[in-house]
Structure 1
């Protein structure tokens, strides 16, 4: 399949949050293979270093840093550092540690942002969830994406693209993922609202992955019964792959989707997805 990958992102700069493994890494890799310079982030330096090494090993221009998306300074510094270094090339080599300043320093512009950070700190039902859990779900899954884009908006290029990563649980509540699904439903509305606000210069879309076996969804690899049950709910009789999700996100971010904004693309193997 890779031999058929084009170069839709040549000369473009992409930020992908929570991108050192799983779906986020696959999206960063796909954008990079198509020519983008990618900036990845994670909460742990070891994960960042390993992911950057993998991407560079595939010929991708990649840089990364620690970024807690709930940390305001981390978000601001990611943007700032990327922008500054791109404009001034290698003349600026200050070792900034946080996300937005990193992007500002490194590249000088932003063409694509993929908001992938998410958390599900509890499998309790909604009515049993502690307030601290509700706060964290809202903060990581919704609020931080808004704050990230507030910082990034002044630096987005004309023709830029935003892609949120939601979930099929936004449409189909799943046991243990009830409140998580509610926050992912919020991203569908956020996509519509921001598409209107940021038009015509920036497109805003959303991809809603189905069930994909990753570390974030480890139950899919450790519980054969659950895995089989989900596979049977799909029309394609299989779980999704990180590459499936990356291909969808890359499409929405690319000029192939230049007349698409405010939309959510469900990539769930045919699992029903109607609100």
Structure 2
């Protein structure tokens, strides 16, 4: 058996949440290129239908399921739809989360709660719904999406970084409970060219600060992360679980630059 065959996902079924664009869409298509049939979830029907269409062009079965990660019932229904359509589930990829950068004194209680909900609760809820079906697979894998800021420091990221740090430890804890039938790992991107990053990187000075903070001296592409997702989803990583794979251009050895040029303390919000 050649090494390349370990990345083959022929006959596997993958569910990808947050797959409408960016890292999620690239990951869904990477799995489809490797042979998996896919179900793609997002709040944007047009976007996920486009991703599903590209997968079908590759010869894969693909369905688009509009769903809001914040809706617990929608997560359960999405998993049920996958089983109804494909009869099985082998891989779950969660590309969900996010948080608005803000100074510490403006990081009020609601901002902290929202970050934990978006970065921890939403993804783990979907995994919990999927576990009864994943346990029936002979090669079940879950891939969560963290961030470099989950383990490095940077001003302005307290809510987001705390949420991602919690997710990373949740992955380790879940692995101990799901072993040996289900592997669960996370990928931790650095500064990657996505629509979300453009909200801050559109400023040339901030873009340069991100590049300067990255030892490889460039921003990442969605495909850089998708390749890591494929590795963690496939038999190539069959001896890997409970791990966080940093795909950040070496940023883990630096401080993250602040997400905006002016970080003067401001009055806390109620």
Among 159, 162, 165, the residue aligned to 1:179: 159
1:219 corresponds to which residue? Answer: 199
Post-superposition CA distance 1:195-246 (Å, at most 9, x none): 1100000111110001001111113541111111111222211111101000
Give the count of matched residue pairs: 250
Q: How does 1:54-203 map to 2 (within 5 A)?
A: 54-83=54-83, 105-120=84-99, 122-156=100-134, 157-203=137-183
**Aligned partner of residue 217 in structure 1, secondary structure:** helix
Give the TM-score of the pair, scaled to structure 2.
0.86
Q: Is the 8 A contact 1:9 1:34 kept in 2?
A: yes
Give the TM-score of the pair, scaled to structure 1.
0.85
Post-superposition CA distance 1:111-148 (Å, at most 9, x none): 1101111121x322244223332222111110122221
Please, what is the CA RMSD of the aligned residues?
2.0
Q: Is the 8 A contact 2:143 2:184 kept in 1?
A: yes
CA distance in 1 between partners of 2:21 and 2:11 (Å): 24
Q: Is the 8 A contact 2:7 2:230 kept in 1?
A: no
Gaps of 5+ in 1: 84-104
1:44 corresponds to which residue? Answer: 44
Asked if residue 260 in structure 1 is aligned to residue 240 in structure 2, the reply is yes
Q: Is the 8 A contact 2:152 2:252 kept in 1?
A: yes
Q: Is the 8 A contact 1:75 1:151 kept in 2?
A: yes
Please report how far the alpha carbon of residue 273 of structure 1 lies from its aligned counterpart in structure 2 after TM superposition: 5.0
Residues 251 and 168 of structure 1: CA distance in aligned 2, closer, same or farther (over 3 Å):
same
Greater CA drift, 260-269 or 40-49: 40-49
Gaps of 5+ in 2: 256-270
**Aligned partner of residue 41 in structure 1, secondary structure:** strand
1:21 corresponds to which residue? Answer: 21
Greater CA drift, 264-273 or 197-206: 264-273
Higher RCO structure, 1 or 2 (CA under 8 Å, sep 6+)? 2
Q: Is the 8 A contact 2:6 2:236 kept in 1?
A: no
Q: Is the 8 A contact 1:12 1:36 kept in 2?
A: yes
